[in-house]
Structure 1
Amino acid sequence: MHTVAVAFWGAFFGTVSLLLVVALIAFSRSARRVAATGSLSALMSGLYVLVFLGWVPVADPEVLMRLQAHMAAVCAAVLGLFLLWTVGELRDPRRAAHANAVMAALLVTVLVAGWALPPTGALALSTGMEAVVVAICLAASFGSALRGAQFGWAALGGLLCMSVTVAGLTRYAFEPEQVDWPLHAATALAAIAYVTTIAGALWMRYSFLIALRDAMKHGPTFDPVTRLRSRVETDAMVGDAFLQAARDRPLGVVVVSIANLMALEQLHGRSAYNHALFICASRLRRLVPPGAELGRLGEDAFLLLLRNPSGGHQMGDLAHLLAQRLARPVSLGTSRDMKELEDRRTEWVADIGVGVLIAMPDMRPPVAVAGARAMSRTAWSYVSRVAWYDETSRQITELPLAAAGAR
């Protein structure tokens, strides 16, 4: 195989690896179904390409071709059901059971019949099954797109890219000497487009469900701007955290306060204020460690609770990370009109203060939260923008980055 072709296929496997990492991140964020289906799609696509390129430890060409026939049939069945499920065709349990049974019967028939044929015939039969499944999925995706689902159009585009990939790899399987590097490059690019498009369709399908789950979980106390617990539910969260904390383990309390939110509202209106709050909350959600609990605190602050913190080193590093990342410049929209939202913008930098407190089990929850919030406001006057309670001097002091690493 030409070096350029190998480079393009290397880019494909790099994309698959990246999608697997994203799936692991989704799993850590409790989006397990998204992670499972996304990783399954990426893995099956990667194995399909590996087998059809012949990058497997099989020396006999006939054995390799039979393996390619089996892989084509299995991938067609699994990925076909996966896509039908993604576009919403298998929501009815009875319909899903019927589709699973039909697909399983088709898969067994193709695999058994393939052994009665020579290797080239078995691969041709499996390719025919791929064509049938792709046609069914194209019709289902097109119907979903016509009903107004954005992920329907994404799935439709992904299937078209997959058709190019299947055609190129099948040609290579039958006539490897006749395939030059430009065809390899086009096939690899189509494969990259397929896996990324299907991943995008999957995320569009489930992002709504994730938001709906959060709204149903928090009910009317769910804050639609920050997509966090509102102030009322944050109070309940604090009480539950202190009740569940072990007697011999402290609770990490971090409060992030924004000094210039009210000034932003006075200068540019409530729309800019909401946009700034939305951006800060989005950045905060991406930065919090797994297992931490996050809520809104007042009009200009956020509360972060860490169970069983490992000590000042972890808390200090997290506080400095929050202070640095949340203070990055952002371009805010100042109009509620969609047409003017991208045009009428103003540059804004959040004036961040972070208060860090390790609350012992005998400390009352309101006292711990009020203390951390007071420290976050004190931190506005510090260069590091991080304040914490120093047990040695028994006073609120600045926590420089070097000191945080040393604790």
Structure 2
Amino acid sequence: MPGSVVVAGRRYPAMTVATVLLNLIAVAMLSLTLLTWRPDNNPRSALVALIVTAVAGLVWTLARGALLEQRDVAVMVALAFGALAALTWGTERELAAFANGSSVPMLSVFAVWFLAIGLARVIAYVGTAVWGLAIASHADETLLVPAVTVAVQVVVATEVLGRLRARLDQLARTDELTGALNRRGAHALVTQQLTRRARLGTPLTVLALDVDDLRAVNNRDGHPAGDAMLRAIVDHLRSGLRPGDEVGRLGGDEFLVVLPGADHGVGDVVARRLAEGAPASWSVGVAEARADDDPAALLARADARMYERKQARRGLDQA
């Protein structure tokens, strides 16, 4: 659940900020090691190469900014694990070899928090195994127990934090009543899809839905009946969507349907299809993302069109 961080009055993705810090720490630690270098320590050429790599990662992260993706971070973390293994294999000092492994649990935690859990497991466990092989290359039995301790720490940190993150993600992004995305989850999804659109040029369309009869149902039959209707609406919406489409509940009777890869024409077709056999009537606004859209602008345009439809329907009813 990466979220965002405010720095100097501006909001940045937490993953971007953390990756900047990770690269800065790597540059600082490698530079300190280089300044205190001794012949039997980590190879000097490897240290220089790794400093250059960390600086390149820092520059890339700053250049990408909010567009930084998980695959960028995955490559950087994998390179960091490879660097630790290379330094461990190349040093002649057993203490320095083991000290390199002190960063292994930290990298694993970083991967679990910011990457998909499956990808994080692969990187953490493969990276730890490669570092363990580098430790084994020293053929020093005194390093065996400490190395196993590091491996156990990686497994515990990865599995415990991974499950904690999955649970927190679910609680933070899901509407408890209907199981749909809540407002926070829906906005996060739209932000993610807008970023994807900016990178790949694929269309993105959203539907803003406002249910007509919820208040009347609550007043006539009670809130449990209204809650049941809301759950039925979400079930109906999901049954008519493609894999990859998502439903969010933004408020009491307001819903959002996110259609990645769909243009405005497809959105109109989906809106008409979803209205057929629905458990309640609603007004819907369709909006396709534009090049300069942020989530607020896209959703505001969908809302405006939805209210236009609602007013038009009221006019017809009164007529």
TM-score, length-normalised on structure 2? Answer: 0.42
Larger Rg over CA atoms = 1
TM-score, length-normalised on structure 1? Answer: 0.34
